[in-house]
Amino acid sequence: MRIPVGIIDVSTGEPVQAELFDDVTIEDFLETQRDWRPVVLEAAQQLTRAGGRQAIVPRHFHWDWTRKEGDLRMLVNRFYGIRREDILQGLAKFMTAGQVCRLSGQAGKPLVYVDYLEVAPWNIKPLMGALGKPHRFAGVGTRLIEIAVRLSVEEGFKGRLGLHSLPTSEPFYINTCAMTPVGPDATKQNLLWCEFTPGQADGFLRR
């Protein structure tokens, strides 16, 4: 699948067309290691040196997508990427089994679990701010959450979605996406478990 999706060019404030694809390969993982990771590390070092703003130091600086090569062969996993100007702008791994809803009223029901979602570092405003540069595209993370919700609908899960949020991403999931913060998960480094009900997912898609 390759379909056009809209993201925002921050330099002009105008929407531009990017490509959403699901035939993710090891080449895409290697691209994140080659092009993304050095920028994330440099920004993390700048933020750490600056001190006093530890809360915004990215916690995903150690992520290594190439370790997920074996996951590409498992039916339970679905990978999606977004490209613009032939450059990878965002990458996500969703799971369609193995996790269930925890929110009262839908506990135990199946959902799409957002296992990993990463946006290219040049699209993350605080990171680029640490490097004294403007960020490039906005809306990449939102487009990836949107495809996760659409996958949930397609799978018969009615838009139910769940994820463990890194502390630096909580404002995005709670405020931007309007997911429900259910609570910290002691079995997952106390990361905040967030969830979409079918109604919330429908509202998200209609925005």
Q: Which residues bind another protein (CB under 8 A)?
A: 1, 21-24, 70, 72-76, 79, 96-98, 108-110, 155-158
Distance CA 67, CA 74 (A): 14
Q: Residue 4 or residue 70: which is nearer to another protein going by CB?
A: 70
Q: Which is nearer to another protein, 110 or 139 (CB)?
A: 110
b/e map 35-47, b = 16+ CB within 10 Å = ebbebbeebbeeb
**Cβ proximity to another protein, 21 vs 137, nearer residue:** 21
Considering the complex, what minimum distance in angstroms separates the CB of residue 53 from another protein? 39
Q: How far is the CB of 65 from another protein (least distance, A)?
A: 15
Sheet holding 77-84, edge to edge: 137-138, 2-9, 14-21, 77-84, 87-95, 112-119, 161-165, 191-196, 180-185
* Minimal distance, residue 81 CB to another protein, in Å: 10
Least separation in angstroms between residue 35's CB and another protein is 22
Judge contact between 118 and 60, C-beta under 8 A: yes
